[in-house]
Structure 1
Amino acid sequence: MRPQTRSRSVDRTHARPPWRRRLWAALALVPVLTACRGGDEDSRVPAGESSRMQADNYVRTAIHRSPEGIILLPSAKAERAYDRTRLNEIAQALRQPAAVCFIRRGIETIRLGERDGERAYVDVPEGQAKFRARVDLTGETMRVEVLETGFDDEPMENCVREAIEAVKWPPSRNNQVQRIDVVYWVSLGLRGEDESDEMKHAFREQQALAAERGRRCLEGRLPIGTYEVTGLSLLDREGRTVANRVDPDRVGEPVAACLTAAFREVRMPRSRDAFIRPFSPRVVFEVGDNGVVSYDDARWLKLIHLEQQAQREAKRAELGGDGQAASAPPIALPRAGGDAGGDAGAPELEPAPAAASRPEPDEGERDPAKGGQKLDLLGRDPG
């Protein structure tokens, strides 16, 4: 059954419940998934219960394999007016600005809370929506309507709509106004890998390194006392920080901005099928009566680095002095105290963010509904 459109002015309390949103998405995505994968022009899912089950299974697989995606459903007239390969390229390109919408909104709203009695990330701007773009014969988007929405976060939905409005479509072959439906879904996805003991250990080390870099942010700026600093870091699948924040409640805006720069250098191991990976740093700083700033994991970090250095030396001994490992420089231990060398490399109060290098893109299919593809979320002005 074809979903009915609803006006943006309709009260959001009348939105469909989550299970119906998922069912709608499963039914709506099927035609475009077939089209974007390059099927024959007349390839359609025939009517009937058996085809409906096939459609549900196909879409369930597509949604499970990727926490985000964009797919297009051109009208029958638009299919004849546009090249499918070009539409697939447009769908792929739209994922970038849509991901930026999710990151920009998420860094403002996402927080650690409780769901079903367990700690979980809440206020995530995730959901599914179906938009309708009307395109003039030159390829300019005339307007974009929201047909169906599962987003509870209206700014996120509006941001995606504006990204669709900015699309430059191909000129129409039949010199007529065209209609193209755009389906978008996004979520954090499963976080099983990031919840492993290995990842937790890696993040604790990265958090301690960030605290070491950030000690200077507090020196001479805060009175004697204990300061618990919390925040949020959003990482991509390569483990690079794409956005982060430090809550200023206890330390004030200037110090929080400085600490944000320190925590921006957090790097984690790769998670192959991830999209956006949230981590919540928590560090307790202590400002002593002599002005020295320490933090809770300083001793632990020093022990970890001593252990790593011992492992390197043991491996060097195993090589039997053949010189292969002799050229490796000794590890530089961060200083947990307030001695003169401990502040080297600490961020300034309001440092400029460093431009991150972009890795080479992965090879593979360019299916906009396929998971595991790399989006360039760093070093680009999404405006």
Structure 2
Amino acid sequence: MIVRKYHLILFLIVILLALSWGIARRSPAFGVARFDNLLINEFVAVNRTGLVDEDGDYSDWIELYNAVQNSVNLSGWSLTDDPKNPNKWRFPDITLRGGDYLLVFASAKNRRDPNSPLHANFKLNRKGEYLALYNIFSEQLSTMDASPFPAQFKDTAYGRRGDEASYGYLNSPTPGQANAESLAWQGIVSDLAFSFQRGFYDEAIAVELFTATPGASIYYTTDGSEPGEMSGALYTKAIPITNTTLLRAAAYKSNFHPSPIATHSYLYLADILDQPPNPANFPPDWGVYSKNRDSYKAVKGEPIIADYEMDPKIAQDPRYREPLIEGLKSLPSLSLVTDIANFDIYANPQERGEAWERPVSLE
């Protein structure tokens, strides 16, 4: 009887071990490890002016590094930004020699020709996301020490500091080369908070600005331009707002990445109705007429005089003024804030492409 119980217990143990092994084999997400030979060395998730792919696009990119002397055949590896889909983008049959680097564009173009630039079938999220290598044969994920990685910034590389295992923002991207030894920043300045929300106002307010980062200095502008340490006013006390004001601010600290620029539009509708045709510092004309237009009494080559005002025959008429103000409040609206100099786009309203695009803040 004792022998039978012993055999039964032994049989159950063997079955449980077999089931556990089978589950582990079918669940690669549970196998997480660090491979010391093949590494995600660095990447750029917001490529705007850096490396260009074969199509002329500023695609984001990921760099792999073989940290040992032995070559590694990548046909058994994949890249993924989804822990539930570790085999998302498989490498072609390509060998990475010891000490070599390999660049993969994160462009979502999905190109696997080993004789051409490689393109993964996903893009990198600038807000931060998961990123890992997956070994198909061992069914193990190799994640970075910083996965999911944090928010990324324009033309900034994120990767290993030199040959160290720690990850951070690097001083400069180095595709195909050893990483920079020094980090770009010790940290990131926290987002700004405003004591008054953007919107419509008809009474004076005093706006206070805050950041949770100790030792950070706040700089602001009110003319639509981007604030900086050399191009903005240093915030020292509450900012009085008595008329339409486009308040933009950012916080800075030495050896830290500045906070994102925050924009709050405080709109006084009486100012909008009374806006002059030629506000100070705005472009005085919108280019020139490209051809004669009898209906406008326009002559080809003559300047198009800028006109920024609302029609005074309506805006200044007591019969319409109050209904206009109420109507402007009731309509869904967007505020587009940019540097005054960017209004030169009116000169060529039909042009297309990046050369005619201007950065704006959308509220």
Give TM class, smaller chain: under 0.3
| TM-score under structure 1 length normalisation | 0.25
Determine which structure has greater relative contact order: mean sequence separation of CA pairs < 8 Å that are 6+ residues apart, divided by chain length: 1
Of structures 1 and 2, the larger Rg is shown by 2
Q: Whose helix proportion is higher, 1 or 2?
A: 1
